[in-house]
Structure formats: C-alpha cells, structure tokens
Amino acid sequence: MSLSQWVPLVVLFTLATLFALFSVTIAPYIGPRRYNKAKLEAYECGIEPTPTPPGGSRFPVKFYLTAMLFIIFDIEIVFLYPWAVAFDSLGMFGFVEMLLFIVTVFVAYTYVWRRGGLDWD
C-alpha cells in the first residue's frame, strides 16, 4: 500500500481545518450585530435553560426520550455501515432494500416529529 492512497484523506483534513479557521475568523467581521437584553444571558441560544436542581439531583424525563431516539437512529446507522462498505457489490437490490428500511424507520421519525417529541418545551 503506497502513501498516495492517503492523499484524499489528508486533503479532507486540511480542508476541514481551513474551513473551521475561516469561519471563526470571518464571523466577527461579516456577522450582523444587533444587541438586546437576551445577549446578557449566560448561554446565548434563545432557549431558557431547563430547570435542573443544582447539586446533582434528578433530571427531567425528557432527557430519556432524547436518549432513546438517539439510540434508535444510531442502530439505523449500524446497518448503513456494512451497506456502504459493500455498496459496489450489492447492486440495485441493495439500494432498494436500504431505501425500504430507511423509509420504514422514517415512519417512526414522522410520528415522533408530529407528536412533538422533538420539541424541548
């Protein structure tokens, strides 16, 4: 295995680093500046912090929902991994199978989305 195979990887890393540096440097110059009282917040994201008792007591149960949903889509990704690796040899039927799988899991996603499972408040 020659080193030339690693060139795309190195290029990708370089591009990613450059992009990150570029965004951070340029943002203060071209970003809009409109100050208001909300910017005095400790966490300036526009959403009120979830009330948690300090001193490490119990979390609200909505964290559990988020964790479960994360696991579900994480497991979906596990199936994508061998599919992506063997994509060339799988042919059209592999593509259709995975499409079917993703569409079916997407049904669960629409349910969660429509019922407000993705909203924090």
Partner 1 sequence: MNDIQLPAIDYAALLPMLIVFGAACVGILVEAFAPRGWRFVIQVSLTIGGLVAGLVAIIVNRDLEITTIGGAVTVDGPGLFLQGAIIILGIVSLGLIAERRLERGGPFVAEAAHAANSDGDKRQEREPGATEVFPLTLFAIAGMMLFCVSGDLLTMFVALEVFSLPLYLLCGLARRRRLISQEAALKYFLLGAFASAFFLYGVALLYGYAGTVSLTGIREGVLQSEQSGILLAAGLALLAIGLLFKAAAVPFHVWTPDVYQGAPTPVTALMAACTKAAAFGGLLRVFNVAFETTAWDWQPVLATVAILTMVVGSILAVAQTDIKRLLAYSSVANAGYLLVGVVSLNGAVGSSLFYLIAYGFSVLGAFAMVTLVRDSEGEATHLSRWAGLGKGSPLFSALFTFLMLGFAGIPLTSGFTSKFALFSSAWDSDQSVLVIVGVLSSVVLAFPYLKVVVLLWLNPPGEETPTVSVPSMLTRAVIFAGVAVTFVLGVAPSFLLDIVADAGPFLAK
Partner 2 sequence: MSLLAQGALLAADNTVPTGEAVTFWILAPIALGGAIGMVLARNAVHSALLLVCTMLSLGVFYVLQAGPFIGMVQIIVYTGAIMMLFLFVIMLVGRHTRDSLIEVLRGQRLAAVILGVGFAMLLGTGLARGVGSVTAKGLDEANANGNVEGIAKLLFTKYIFAFEVTSALLITAAIGAMLLAHIEKKPGEKLDQKVLSRNRFTKGNYPGPKSGPGVFATSDSVATPAILPDGTFTERSVSKVVPARELTLTEARPKATNGNKQDGEIR
Please give the structure tokens belonging to residue 86: 């063997």
For partner 1, the closer of residues 22 and 106 by Cβ is 106
Q: What is the CA radius of gyration of the chain?
A: 22
For partner 1, the closer of residues 70 and 113 by Cβ is 113
User: What's the half-sphere exposure (Cβ side, CA atoms, 13 Å) at 37?
Assistant: 0
Q: Is 81 in the site for partner 1 (CB under 8 A)?
A: no
For partner 1, the closer of residues 21 and 60 by Cβ is 60
- Give which of partner 1, partner 2, none residue 118 binds (C-beta under 5 to 8 Å, depending on kind): none
CA angle, 58 then 64 then 65, to 5°: 140
CB of 40 to partner 1, least distance (A): 35
DSSP 87: H
- Contact 79/101 with Cβ under 8 angstroms? yes
Alpha helices in 3-61 (DSSP H): 7-30
State the residues that interact with partner 2 by CB under 8 A.
1, 37-38, 40-42, 46-48, 51-72, 74-79, 81-83, 85-86, 89-90, 93-94, 97, 100-101, 104-105, 107-109, 111-112, 115-117, 119, 121
